[in-house]
Amino acid sequence: MTQARDGLLATPLADRHRALGARMVEFAGWSMPVQYAGILEEHRAVRTRAGLFDLSHMGELFVEGADAAKALGYALVSEPAALQVGRAHYSMICFPDGGVLDDLIVYRLGEERFMVVANASNAAAVSDALAERIKGFNVVLDDRSLATALVAIQGPLSLQVTAPLTDVPIADLRYYAIGDGHVAGIPALVARTGYTGEDGFEVFVEVGSAGRVWDALMEAGRSAGVVPVGLGARDTLRLEAGMPLYGNELGPDTTPYEAGLGRVVKLGKEGDFVGRAALEKAEADGPRKKLVGLAVRGRGIARHGYELFADDRRTGVVTSGTLSPTLGEPIAMAYSAPADAEPGTILEVKIRDQRVPAQVVVLPFYRRAT
């Protein structure tokens, strides 16, 4: 990675983004493309064809050694020891009080080797926390965040575009699985994971090879209508799919149970883990707040931070909101009091100086046909 002219970190694809007319913004200390042709067009391309994302700002942390599974089991709320080689799962690293430090994907690359992928905004904090928590275990942490690039292709044509370029049998790769091989002749890890609600693949390569992988995927997808996609459409896609974003739906003041992700916490696993006592209590006590989906029934878009009311009582706050390109109506995620979280409940969002009705709905807003 390099420093951009404004002092931000730049991905190895920065010059390509600018050549494609991307509008660059600061995100988690990085200079990143927020859009190219436009958020709406990019969003629809992913839903109907495929889109290409530069996610090289994400953190990649490799944990290796005889105690790798046990060490990660202590550091995280999930149970990495239960993963088969070549599989992955969604996980979280929590503070001792049960609040979420970050949400993660954990890949088991070998019997004693794992890759933990962290959000860009938390990569350093996760690396530091893992380093502290694995002390005393027979394991080594290798933070390769700045040496690893990540290119993702997402959408219904992803398999068609990517398969001819790789020796990884991706047609047989299950969702949340990973293979080791080549893409465009370049050594790569290829995972069938993503953050859009669509089928797709995430390709991990050394930084110096990122440009060749990006170019190969762009060229292979040209006739299929594949387009580059920025952070703007990535956000609207994940919101439609009901996927949480750290800093919005997840954070230190929220437990996995409140976010509707209690399934990630494996209280029955062998051994202690950081946050166990607090999370056992959180499960027993029940949530103080609940994450809900909202379909806004009036005019306006419910944005992050807008207040949520039940009659004249403030019940919570909006965490993410947009005008859904797929559904054609305003949608949002929010936290409300548990008593107000039943699907079908009509609440009100304060948009500017007006209270606009919004109905609690089951997440996700969008689910792709299988």
**Which CATH number is 23's domain given?**
3.30.1360.120
Q: How many CA atoms lie within 13 A of 165 on its CB side?
A: 24
In this structure, are 74 and 135 located in the same domain?
yes
In this structure, are 38 and 168 located in the same domain?
yes
Q: What is the pLDDT of residue 7?
A: 83
Whether 357 maps to a domain, the answer reads no
Write out pLDDT tens, residues 318-370.
999 999 999 999 999 999 999 999 999 999 999 999 999 999 999 999 999 87
User: Phi and psi of 120, rounded to 5°?
Assistant: -60, -40
Which of 125, 141, 157 is the last residue in one of the domains?
Answer: 141
Q: What is the pLDDT of residue 264?
A: 98
Whether 76 maps to a domain, the answer reads yes
Whether 193 maps to a domain, the answer reads yes
Question: Looking at the 3D structure of the chain, how many domains does it have?
Answer: 2
Whether 303 maps to a domain, the answer reads no
What is the rounded CA–CA span in Å between residue 41 and residue 122? 30
In this structure, are 89 and 206 located in the same domain?
no
Q: Which residues contact 93 (CB under 8 A, 6 or more apart)?
A: 75, 76, 77, 100, 101, 102, 104, 126, 129, 130, 274
Whether 276 maps to a domain, the answer reads no
In this structure, are 79 and 204 located in the same domain?
no
In this structure, are 48 and 170 located in the same domain?
yes
What's the token pair of residue 292?
Answer: 């809900």
In this structure, are 54 and 84 located in the same domain?
no
Q: What is the pLDDT of residue 4?
A: 54
Whether 325 maps to a domain, the answer reads no
Q: Which residues pair with 114 in a beta bridge?
A: 63, 108
Which of 141, 169, 190 is the last residue in one of the domains?
Answer: 141
Q: What is the pLDDT of residue 178?
A: 98
Whether 365 maps to a domain, the answer reads no
Angle at 178 between CA 69 and CA 256, to 5 degrees: 55
In this structure, are 95 and 195 located in the same domain?
no
In this structure, are 215 and 203 located in the same domain?
yes
In the predicted model, what is the mean pLDDT of the chain? 97
Name the stretches of the chain with pLDDT < 70.
Answer: 1-5
pTM of the model: 0.97
In this structure, are 52 and 63 located in the same domain?
no
In this structure, are 95 and 222 located in the same domain?
no
Whether 199 maps to a domain, the answer reads yes
Which of 141, 157, 183 is the last residue in one of the domains?
Answer: 141
In this structure, are 120 and 177 located in the same domain?
no
Give first-to-last CA distance, the chain, whole Å.
Answer: 38
What is the domain extent for residue 188?
A: 2-58+146-240
Q: What is the pLDDT of residue 145?
A: 98
Domain containing residue 115: CATH number: 3.30.70.1400
In this structure, are 65 and 122 located in the same domain?
yes
